[in-house]
Amino acid sequence: MKVIGLQSALSAAIFAIVFTASGQAQDRGAVSQQDLDAKIQYCKTCHGVSGQGFRGSFPMPRLAGQQSEYLENQLRAFIERRRTNPVMFNVAHVLSPSMVKGLTTYFKELNPKPLGGGPKDQIAAGKKIYEEGVPDKQIAACASCHGADAKGDGAMPRLAGQLSDYIVQTLANWSKQRGQDPAKPDASAIMAPIAQGLTHEQAVAVAAYLGSLD
């Protein structure tokens, strides 16, 4: 999703958050398959046995099929405290670049069935918002950034199959969790006015639609 006319700002923001090894745990070369498998199993503790997400006390996001570049950028955002999550800060800051590469490649290649769970009677309304946006609020079609199939591209995340309640919660808390370092603006700024502009009902609808997609 994006606000009309912010293409240039998006490009600049993405450039600003290109993932580098700076500040990352020192890389000692390629990780062993044993170490990678152990870390994958650790991730699955929260994110589901197939990376499909998990509904517990809090909805845990789907990682399966997610764009590698997007996952790398989010890990960097956790490390730099631009994105707030104390658990993920502790997880991310110890990962070497090679481990990050192994994890993001692994999860991108997964594609389990979505968990669904959103209100089915809102799927059609959510599809309309996704494809057409909300013109009276100058909110462009979500598909213009995330793709017609909602599978994202590069730094633009996949939304297809994401837990609907996770999407609703994330949109509601966007400004409290993303872009937390004004000195290091990133692509999350593009989503801020959209998250604030959508009503709760609209967020629920678009989340229901996205959660229904394979």
Domains parsed from the chain with CATH numbers: 7-16+32-211 (1.10.760.10)
What is the pTM (predicted TM-score) of this model? 0.85
CA 88 to chain centre: 13
Phi and psi of 70, rounded to 5°? -65, -45
Cα–Cα distance measured from residue 107 to residue 66, given in angstroms and rounded to the nearest whole number: 7
Best CA proximity match to 210, nearest among 135, 146, 138, 155:
146
User: What confidence category does residue 30 fall into, taking pLDDT thresholds of 50, 70 and 90?
Assistant: confident
Percent of residues, the chain, with pLDDT higher than 70: 87
Tens digits of residue pLDDT in 76-108: 999 999 999 999 999 999 999 999 999 999 999
Tens digits of residue pLDDT in 163-201: 999 999 999 999 999 999 999 989 999 999 999 999 999
